[in-house]
Amino acid sequence: MKLVYLAIFLLLVLCAHAQNDDETIFDEFTLNIGDRIEIGNYRILFIEVQSEKDGLAILGVSKPGGTLDEQRVMLVNNANTFDGGAEEGGLTITVEEIFDDQTAKVRVEHKENMGTARKRVSEGPKIAKNVPNLIVKKNLDKGRLTVGEDVKVTVTVKNIGTGTASSIQLEDLPPLSEFTFLAGYPPKIKDKLEPEESDSAIYVMTAVNDGSVKVPSIQVKYKDSKENQKSNNSAPFDLIIDPKSKPQLNIEMVPSGPLPAGGQGLLNISIANIGRASATKIKIESDIEPSVGFEAIGLDKTFFEIPPGKIESYSAQLIGKNSGNYTIILRAAYSSSEESMLSEMQTEIVVLEREYKYLYLLLIIPIMAIAVWILKRYREYKY
Amino acid sequence: MLNVLMLGIGQCGNRILDAINKEAFGGSMINKYCFGPKFPSRVDTLAINTAINDLKELRFTLAKDRLHVPNLHGVGANRYNGKQAFWDNRDMIMEEIEKRGDIDITFVITSTSGGTGSSFSPLLIQELKRRYRKICVIIVAVLPFREEGAIYLQNAAFSIRELMEAEADGLILVDNQYLKRYSGDIASAYDKINSMVAQRLLFLIDSLDSEMLMVTDLGDFKTVMSGGLCIGTIGFFQSDKKNPSVKSAIENSLKPSNLLYPANVYDDAARAMVIIQGSKEYLEVDEITKEIERLSASAGQVFKGLVVKRGYPKVLSVFTLASVPELESLYAQAARAIQDEKDRKKRAKKQLTDAFAHIEDMDEIY
Ligand SMILES: Nc1nc2c(ncn2[C@@H]2O[C@H](COP(=O)(O)OP(=O)(O)OP(=O)(O)O)[C@@H](O)[C@H]2O)c(=O)[nH]1
Ligand SMILES: [Mg+2]
């Protein structure tokens, strides 16, 4: 019985050994253009990426002695067999992924007994020949501008690659609502640019709204010689558009305090131009609510001009006839260079109830006088 | 303007003086506190007394116008003690009077029957006459109620004599006994008499100092007071709406019932002065003249003064008398009283000596 077990064990070991010799294994490599893989007698060369977009790469496979020398365009994730494929003792090669126009991931399957696959890095330039590379820049002639101002935008495209770029197109992303575009928009540059060649386009736009604007990147789209679509973006940047310079009048009213009924007071008024342009033909008009019981003299006034940052002050006389709360409304109508403007301000004036506070003195004084007099008299007659 | 000094001496004099001050205030307490006294001339008042309580009682006289002559327990109706007190304090009293400045006329108001007033006054008048040569001194002497007692009667008798001897310019009599009829109780009788005297004296001063036409002056007054016995009195009448006739006002002012001392003007007057005050329309010259003439027929000299002032006629008559029968009867009464007093004293003394006789020649035995 023991012999039988032993025989079965041996058989199994033998079988396993026999299977192992026949094993198909695979290796994966990330290759740059010009890199090679060597396995057994085979040499695999990564020649170029034919189309990133379509997933096509060109690889060459050769054997010494000229028995095999083949260049093949391989589609990503499609297996290509050489000498009947790995099962038959040949090779199966698959491009698994194309990273860019220089780099791809490749899988090589083979029989184990062919040895280990080795990568040989190419010493020559890695850049593929005939590859265009466009960079794009957008420049404004001003770092800061004001609503209504024009700005000149220069778009420059330069080919820093090795191949000719064709079908070049510029696209602003997106066109800015803060601007109206006057001339030269959309920008046009040459359809084709040879390596080291550059071209620029200029357009002019006007700021229409104020605020802080993020100027987006401009995109250049082009094709290389193999009709591969490529693109590049300029860097976005920030821009501040200041509001248009206008005058702005600020009215300030400072009353001298609550008025006693029947009393008088002062109202100091200052008109400050806190805008950035001169206000002209300033006309100040007033309203008092309620209109009876209170009077103000000298509220209305005209000024020819108040330059920016300047203050005009004057004062009005207030006459409180009846007690109550009154509102003085001042309206300043003025002109800027192109429009009429209006500023308004109101203030409360309190006219106090008639004060009887010190009136008792009028009573007390004579009473005291009489008391003193009577006391004096009393003393004179006291014996 | 006349400089008048009113001296009120003793309780009676003090109280009449206070009444004069009250009259000058228009009689009201409020006026006293609010306004000054309104005298017609420059009038000074001075109340003099030995009894401080009498001075304290006064209401309308300034404290500085009250002079207390310090004397232990008063003089108690004793004129000897009164005289002694005056001599002891004469300089102080005269100094106080001197402070009043110039004096044209002095009224010395006193009762004749008390101790202080009746003894001070004659001496004071002598002093005044000595110091102020040109001064005119008029005594206002109050006679007692006859039933007030022997001492009062005796005091009255002696003091009147002394007052007459003091050579004052005249003596105006005010008889309590005669005026008693105005009021039931003594206190209100005093008040009534005092205010009557006060009113008349102020009216008199007013007319003496008036600057109007047809007025009497101090000289006229002195002439009147020097007539007859130099003893006189004052009559007064104030007419009203019912009878504003100046004729009846003059008549009334001379009637015994309106005098301060009982007298018959038409029979006894030696000299007279009639002062008539009132609105012009009432002062009918004819009637006034007629009345004055009627009086002149009996009295030797009548001075007439007219003061035009709003109101119904007021008439003041001042006159001196040629005879004073009432005074004589007072002296008779006084003499009787003195005699009775003497007899009573004798009898009592005899009784006592008789009583003591019982223990003559005896000794105390223990
Ligand atoms: N008309 C009048 N007579 C008064 C008044 N007071 C007192 N007599 C009278 O005056 C007399 C008394 O004299 P008084 O003045 O009181 O006495 P005196 O001078 O103060 O003297 P003494 O009191 O004795 O120190 C009495 O006959 C009273 O009737 C008064 O107010 N009016
Ligand atoms: Mg007395």
Mean pLDDT on B170-187: 88
Taking the CA of residue B279 as centre, how many other CA atoms within 13 Å lie in the half-sphere pointing to its CB?
A: 10
Task: Verify whether ligand 1 is closer than 6 Å to residue B51 (CB atom).
Answer: yes
**Measured between CB atoms, does A375 come within 8 Å of chain B?**
no
Q: Nearest bound ligand to CA B71?
A: 1
Count of other CB atoms within 10 angstroms of residue A164: 18
**Residue A377 belongs to a domain:** no
Count of other CB atoms within 10 angstroms of residue B268: 19
How far does Cα A72 stand from its chain's mean position? 47
**pLDDT computed for residue B29 by the predictor:** 77
Q: Which residue has the tokens 């003025």?
A: A334
Q: How far apart are CA A109 and CA A107, in angstroms?
A: 7
Residues A107 and A41 in one domain: yes
Answer yes or no: do B66 and A373 touch at CB < 8 A.
Answer: no
Task: Verify whether ligand 1 is closer than 6 Å to residue B71 (CB atom).
Answer: no
Enumerate chain B positions whose Cβ falls within 8 A of a Cβ in A: 32-34, 55-56, 58-64, 66
Task: Verify whether ligand 1 is closer than 6 Å to residue B8 (CB atom).
Answer: no
Q: Which amino acid is at A157?
A: V
**A 135-194 residues with CB below 8 A of B?**
none
Residue A64: pLDDT band with limits 50, 70, 90: confident
Q: How far apart are CA B235 and CA B250, in angstroms?
A: 10
Residue B62's nearest CA partner among B96, B32, B41 is B32
* CA-proximal residue: ligand 1, atom 6 (nearest): B12
- Interface ipTM > 0.90: no
Q: Nearest bound ligand to CA B15?
A: 1
Task: Verify whether ligand 1 is closer than 6 Å to residue B170 (CB atom).
Answer: no
Count of other CB atoms within 10 angstroms of residue A115: 11
Residue A334's nearest CA partner among A276, A275, A279 is A279
**pLDDT computed for residue B221 by the predictor:** 94
In whole angstroms, how far apart are CA A138 and each of A182, A211, A235?
A: 17, 20, 8
Interval between CA B53 and ligand 2 midpoint (Å): 9
- β-pair type (A42-51, A36-39): antiparallel
In whole angstroms, how far apart are CA B250 and each of B201, B264, B281?
A: 18, 15, 16
**Residue A380 belongs to a domain:** no
In chain B, what residues touch A374 (CB-CB under 8 Å)?
A: 33-34
Residue B208: pLDDT band with limits 50, 70, 90: confident
Interval between CA B90 and ligand 2 midpoint (Å): 19
Residue A344's SS3 state is: strand
Answer yes or no: do B62 and A374 touch at CB < 8 A.
Answer: no
Tell me the Ramachandran region of residue A66: left when phi exceeds 0, alpha when psi lies from -120 to 50, beta otherwise: left
Query: Which of A353-357, B186-190, B256-260 shows the lowest per-residue confidence on average (mean pLDDT)?
Result: A353-357
Range of the domain at A275: 249-351
Residues A275-278: contacts with CB under 8 Å, at least 24 apart: A275/A245, A275/A246, A275/A247, A275/A248, A275/A249, A275/A308, A275/A336, A276/A245, A276/A246, A276/A247, A276/A308, A277/A245, A277/A246, A277/A247, A277/A308, A277/A336, A277/A337, A278/A247, A278/A305, A278/A306, A278/A307, A278/A308, A278/A336
**Measured between CB atoms, does A21 come within 8 Å of chain B?**
no
**Residue A374 belongs to a domain:** no
Domain boundary among A242, A267, A287: A242
**Measured between CB atoms, does A377 come within 8 Å of chain B?**
yes
Q: Return the sign of the alpha-carbon dihedral for residues B264, B265, B271, B275.
A: positive
Count of other CB atoms within 10 angstroms of residue A341: 16
Structure tokens at A167: 């079908």
Task: Verify whether ligand 1 is closer than 6 Å to residue B115 (CB atom).
Answer: yes
Q: How far apart are CA A361 and CA A365, in angstroms?
A: 6
The CATH number of whichever domain residue A49 belongs to comes to 2.60.98
Most distant CA atoms of chain A, gap in Å:
166
Mean pLDDT on A120-127: 69
Interval between CA B50 and ligand 1 midpoint (Å): 13
Best substitution site from B7, B9, B12 to test ligand 1's pocket, by max atoms within 8 Å of Cβ? Answer: B12
Picking from B32, B33, B58, the nearest residue to A383 by CB comes out as B58
Interval between CA A270 and ligand 2 midpoint (Å): 89
Share of chain A above pLDDT 90, in %: 22
Q: With a cut of 80, say whether residue A174 has pLDDT above it.
A: no
Q: Nearest bound ligand to CA B173?
A: 1
* CA-proximal residue: ligand 1, atom 26 (nearest): B144
* Strands of the sheet with A229-233, listed across from one edge: A166-172, A218-223, A229-233
Atom number, ligand 1, closest to the C-alpha of residue B190: 32
**Measured between CB atoms, does A382 come within 8 Å of chain B?**
yes
- Rg of the Cα atoms in chain B: 23
Q: How far apart are CA A284 and CA A358, in angstroms?
A: 40
* Strands of the sheet with B136-143, listed across from one edge: B66-68, B42-49, B3-9, B105-111, B136-143, B170-175, B231-238, B314-321, B269-278, B301-308
Residue A362's SS3 state is: helix
Nearest chain B residue (CA) to A370:
B34
Residue B35's nearest CA partner among A365, A375, A377, A381 is A377
In whole angstroms, how far apart are CA B220 and each of A219, B128, B169, B251, B272?
A: 143, 21, 12, 21, 10
How many separate domains does chain A show? Answer: 3
**Residue A168 belongs to a domain:** yes
Residue A246's nearest CA partner among A272, A270, A271, A279 is A279
Residues A86 and A164 in one domain: no
Q: With a cut of 60, say whether residue A127 has pLDDT above it.
A: no
DSSP category for residue A64? G
Answer yes or no: do B33 and A382 touch at CB < 8 A.
Answer: no
In whole angstroms, how far apart are CA B115 and each of A290, A325, B201?
A: 88, 83, 24
Q: Are B140 and B233 in contact, with CB atoms under 8 Å apart?
A: no
Query: Which of A10-19, A311-320, A367-376 shows the lowest per-residue confidence on average (mean pLDDT)?
Result: A10-19
Q: How far apart are CA A361 and CA A367, in angstroms?
A: 9
The CATH number of whichever domain residue A147 belongs to comes to 2.60.40.10
DSSP category for residue A16? H
Beta bridge partners of A272: A250, A311
**pLDDT computed for residue A15 by the predictor:** 47
Share of chain B above pLDDT 70, in %: 99
Beta bridge partners of B276: B306, B315
Q: With a cut of 70, say whether residue B203 has pLDDT above it.
A: yes
* Strands of the sheet with A301-306, listed across from one edge: A301-306, A279-289, A324-335, A340-351
Query: Which of A22-36, B80-94, B133-147 shows the lowest per-residue confidence on average (mean pLDDT)?
Result: A22-36
Answer yes or no: do B55 and A379 touch at CB < 8 A.
Answer: no
Work out the mean pLDDT of chain A and round it to a whole number.
84
Domain boundary among A192, A210, A242: A242
Count of A-B CB contacts under 8 Å: 24
Q: How far apart are CA A297 and CA A314, in angstroms?
A: 12
Domain boundary among A242, A275, A309: A242
**pLDDT computed for residue A18 by the predictor:** 46
Q: Return the sign of the alpha-carbon dihedral for residues B227, B230, B232, B234.
A: positive
Q: Nearest bound ligand to CA B14?
A: 1
pLDDT digits (tens, 9 = 90+) for B247-287: 999 999 999 999 999 999 999 999 999 999 999 999 998 99
Q: Return the sign of the alpha-carbon dihedral for residues A315, A316, A322, A325.
A: negative
In chain B, what residues touch A371 (CB-CB under 8 Å)?
A: none
pTM of the complete model: 0.59
Q: Are A131 and A51 in contact, with CB atoms under 8 Å apart?
A: no
Picking from B33, B59, B66, the nearest residue to A374 by CB comes out as B33
Residues A206 and A139 in one domain: yes
Residue A40's nearest CA partner among A148, A98, A116 is A116
Structure tokens at B12: 């009676």
Share of chain B above pLDDT 90, in %: 76
Mutate which of B33, B45, B67, B68 to disrupt the A interface (most A C-beta within 10 Å)? B33
**pLDDT computed for residue A290 by the predictor:** 86
Mutate which of B62, B66, B67, B68 to disrupt the A interface (most A C-beta within 10 Å)? B62
Structure tokens at A136: 């794009």
Q: With a cut of 80, say whether residue B137 has pLDDT above it.
A: yes
**pLDDT computed for residue A5 by the predictor:** 66
Q: Which amino acid is at B171?
A: L
pLDDT digits (tens, 9 = 90+) for A206-264: 888 888 888 888 888 898 887 878 888 888 888 888 877 788 899 999 988 888 888 88
pLDDT digits (tens, 9 = 90+) for A262-310: 888 899 999 999 888 889 999 999 999 888 888 889 989 999 999 989 9
**Residue A283 belongs to a domain:** yes
Best substitution site from B21, B59, B120, B142 to test ligand 1's pocket, by max atoms within 8 Å of Cβ? Answer: B142
Q: Nearest bound ligand to CA B73?
A: 1
Picking from A373, A374, A383, the nearest residue to B55 by CB comes out as A383
Domains with residue ranges and CATH for chain B: 3-209 (3.40.50.1440), 229-321 (3.30.1330.20)
**Residue A163 belongs to a domain:** yes
Answer yes or no: do B56 and A383 touch at CB < 8 A.
Answer: yes
Residue A230's nearest CA partner among A358, A52, A361 is A52
Residues in Cβ contact with B245 at an 8 Å cutoff, skipping those fewer than 6 apart: B239, B282, B287, B313
Residues A307 and A285 in one domain: yes
pLDDT digits (tens, 9 = 90+) for A184-201: 788 888 888 888 888 988
Residues A234 and A333 in one domain: no
**Residue A110 belongs to a domain:** yes
First-to-last CA distance in chain A?
165
**Residue A365 belongs to a domain:** no
**HEC secondary structure over B238-278:** ECCCCCCCHHHHHHHHHCHHHECCCCCHHHHEEEEEEEEEE
In chain B, what residues touch A373 (CB-CB under 8 Å)?
A: 33-34
* Strands of the sheet with A91-98, listed across from one edge: A24-32, A103-111, A91-98, A79-82
Task: Verify whether ligand 1 is closer than 6 Å to residue B159 (CB atom).
Answer: no
**pLDDT computed for residue B131 by the predictor:** 92
How far does Cα A27 stand from its chain's mean position? 46
Q: How far apart are CA B153 and CA B145, in angstroms?
A: 9
Mean pLDDT on B9-35: 88
pLDDT digits (tens, 9 = 90+) for B30-84: 777 777 788 878 899 999 999 999 999 999 999 999 999 987 677 889 999 999 9
Residue B180's nearest CA partner among B261, B269, B64 is B261
Q: How far apart are CA A220 and CA A215, in angstroms?
A: 16
Task: Verify whether ligand 1 is closer than 6 Å to residue B113 (CB atom).
Answer: yes
